Amino acid sequence: MSDGIKTICCIGAGYVGGPTMAVIADKCKYLKVIVVDLNKDKINSWNNEDLTKLPVYEPGLKDLIKRCRGKNLFFSTNIQQSIAESDMVFISVNTPTKQTGLGAGEASDLKFIESSARSIAEFAIGHTIVVEKSTIPVKTAEVIKTILISSQKGSEKIPEKSFTVLSNPEFLAEGTAIDDLINPSRVLIGGESKTSINALVNIYKNWVSEEKIIKTNIWSSELSKLTANAFLAQRVSSINSISALCEKTGADISEVSKAVGMDYRIGRHFLKAGPGFGGSCFKKDILNLVYICKLYDLNEVANYWNEVLKINHWQQNRLTNIIVKKLFGTVTNKKIGILGFAFKANTNDTRESPAINICSNLLMEGAKLTIYDPKVKFKDISNSLKNLKNAVNDSFKIEENVCMSSSFEQLANGSDAILILTEWVEFKEIEWLKISKLMRKPSWIFDCRDIIDINHFRESDLNIWKIGFGSNMDNLK
Ligand code: NAD
Ligand code: UDX
């Protein structure tokens, strides 16, 4: 049990808010946990009886929701009442890159953080611990505090209120969110108030051992989150840069990754070459880091981290160029099958997916795409590609150039090429020699996720190109 904390609320029912609160509710049955959002459709989906309709797909999430929803876990649009009855409020709203104005293209847009802070300032009653879960620039806690403090003065209507602010960044990765939340590598809590820190520690202590709970000052906590994501993204860009060199030299990136990763000082994680990192976090957080460095006149540091993003973009364009070249320099009106549109396996999230850039490039070259993804819906694909219209021409219609497929056979039928863009486990089971019989000749498989064992195709006339290796036609013989 914990320090008089009986009810907690989370503003933002997205990929972080939903799963995180579901785990807290499951591990702390004595707490009432309310997740609120402005988006009514999203809250309705979280409350849907049919658990396949939850807005977030994560392995293990359905079971948690089934166990806790309606008992001590609630999803609501009533932000006012939920904040008023809570002793602790988590802010887990989106913090996208600013599109216009000061810092556009780099700085984080804090408008959702600010509006959340204003709602807390207005509706909280008594003492409230405010916990930043969103990833935000260093010193954002100061902004939140200023908004909260200004509400403490001069209003007769509002019963006496007080606040403390903590930073508690979330390190979960999509696709493994529930496991990451149940077995976190660490829990980071930044703040000044020992009592408030202890109140949050007492919640985590219900399932996380105390040695894993790190307490820091609030700015270190905020910066640690940005730094962790920048380091992870940097590893992906590093291995992707070497994948290009492997293709030129006859080395195999999977062998290089293994050999490099077995050095305990380097470690084996995040050394998988691919079509570049996607997801809602890496790009936005590095851009934010770049922006902060520039603010402090640390231009060399800003340039250093910016290169991680440049390589990522280059990798996606590089792959498109290889595909077009292998298909005789043109893909106009050719049917290309796309396996996977999510930014990684085990999620329905397409934000910043490398598939967006690669598919856009191919559509601009005139290709017709057929896409199969076990969890992504056509509406999300179409939404991700909506900017293309301007890039191609006014009459370009996504639905005339992109369609979904419900089977591998349908996707392969008449295709000139198939691209593997997400490493869904079911793609590892595909019988390529069988499937390729349905394709137009010469047919190509482009394995951008390194999931095919190319040695099986030594004697085959099926053209397979693999990231960080090259083609079986060039490299095995
Ligand atoms: P998301 O877009 O999935 O969800 C955010 C939700 O907040 C949306 O549903 C939106 O409607 C809601 N919202 C915005 N303003 C609101 C307001 N004033 N009141 C009520 N609801 C409001 O975002 P996400 O992926 O869950 O990310 C949330 C934060 O966590 C971001 O800062 C992100 O960088 C960080 N983060 C994300 C991940 C991840 O894997 N997605 C991991 C760690 C940290
Ligand atoms: C990331 C961080 O891992 C997580 O700690 C943070 O809280 C949110 O951002 P996420 O973006 O959900 O999580 O997934 P992650 O597993 O980090 O993958 C990000 C991208 O990098 C994906 O597109 C993935 O395919 C790619 N990646 C990852 C590689 O290409 N190679 C690798 O070895 C690892």
The residue nearest atom 14 of ligand 2, judged by CA position, is 173
User: Measured from the CB, is residue 180 less than 6 Å from ligand 1?
Assistant: no
Quick: pLDDT tens for 389-425.
777 888 889 999 999 999 999 999 999 999 999 999 9
Within a domain: 241 = no
Within a domain: 72 = yes
Cβ-in-10-Å burial (0-12, 13-18, 19+) of 340 comes to buried
- From 216, 233, 266, give the residue that closes a domain: 216
Would you state the pLDDT for residue 459?
78
Q: Which ligand is nearest to the CA of 168?
A: 1
- Indicate whether 26 and 100 sit together in one domain: yes
- Indicate whether 59 and 197 sit together in one domain: yes
What six digits make up the tokens of 464? 């397979």
Q: What is the CA radius of gyration of the chain?
A: 24
pLDDT band at 2 (very low <50, low <70, confident <90, very high): low
Q: What is the CA angle 388-391-394, rounded to 5?
A: 85
- From 216, 244, 273, give the residue that closes a domain: 216
CA of 272 to the centre of ligand 2 (A): 11
User: Measured from the CB, is residue 8 less than 6 Å from ligand 1?
Assistant: no
Within a domain: 229 = no
Tell me the CA end-to-end span of the chain in Å, nearest whole number. 66
- Indicate whether 37 and 132 sit together in one domain: yes
Which of 207-221, 249-263, 448-462 is predicted least confidently?
448-462
Atom of ligand 2 nearest to the CA of 171: 7
- Indicate whether 371 and 458 sit together in one domain: yes
- From 216, 245, 261, give the residue that closes a domain: 216
Q: Residue 338 belongs to what domain range?
A: 282-476
Within a domain: 445 = yes
User: Measured from the CB, is residue 42 less than 6 Å from ligand 1?
Assistant: yes
Mean pLDDT on 303-315: 98
Mean pLDDT on 52-80: 97
- Indicate whether 348 and 469 sit together in one domain: yes
The number of beta carbons lying within 10 Å of the beta carbon of residue 182 is 14
Cα–Cα distance measured from residue 304 to residue 344, given in angstroms and rounded to the nearest whole number: 26
* pLDDT above 70 coverage of the chain, percent: 97
The residue nearest atom 25 of ligand 1, judged by CA position, is 15
- Indicate whether 293 and 205 sit together in one domain: no
Would you state the pLDDT for residue 157?
55
- Indicate whether 159 and 301 sit together in one domain: no
Pocket test for ligand 1, best of 9, 10, 15, 136 (most atoms within 8 A of CB): 15
Answer yes or no: is pLDDT of 75 > 90. Answer: yes
CA of 372 to the centre of ligand 2 (A): 21
User: Measured from the CB, is residue 416 less than 6 Å from ligand 1?
Assistant: no
Q: What is the CA angle 239-241-246, rounded to 5?
A: 85
CA of 236 to the centre of ligand 2 (A): 9
Would you state the pLDDT for residue 127?
95
CA of 400 to the centre of ligand 1 (A): 33
The residue nearest atom 2 of ligand 2, judged by CA position, is 173
- Indicate whether 83 and 170 sit together in one domain: yes
The residue nearest atom 13 of ligand 2, judged by CA position, is 173
Within a domain: 269 = no
- Cα–chain center distance at 454: 30
CA of 216 to the centre of ligand 2 (A): 25
User: Measured from the CB, is residue 254 less than 6 Å from ligand 1?
Assistant: no
CA of 117 to the centre of ligand 1 (A): 14
Q: Which ligand is nearest to the CA of 34?
A: 1
The reply to whether 9 belongs to the active site is no
Within a domain: 270 = no
Quick: pLDDT tens for 426-464.
999 999 999 999 999 999 999 999 999 988 887 788 999
The residue nearest atom 11 of ligand 2, judged by CA position, is 279
Q: Which ligand is nearest to the CA of 312?
A: 2
pTM: 0.96
Cα–Cα distance measured from residue 260 to residue 342, given in angstroms and rounded to the nearest whole number: 28
Within a domain: 268 = no
Across the chain, mean pLDDT equals 95
Provide the number of structural domains found in the chain.
2
Length of the chain: 477
Q: Which ligand is nearest to the CA of 42?
A: 1
User: Measured from the CB, is residue 94 less than 6 Å from ligand 1?
Assistant: yes
pLDDT band at 472 (very low <50, low <70, confident <90, very high): confident
Within a domain: 247 = no
Beta-bridge partners for 425 = none
For the domain that residue 118 is a member of, what is the CATH number?
Answer: 3.40.50.720
CA of 14 to the centre of ligand 1 (A): 5
Which one of 28, 281, 359, 448 is the catalytic residue? 281
Cα–Cα distance measured from residue 475 to residue 378, given in angstroms and rounded to the nearest whole number: 37
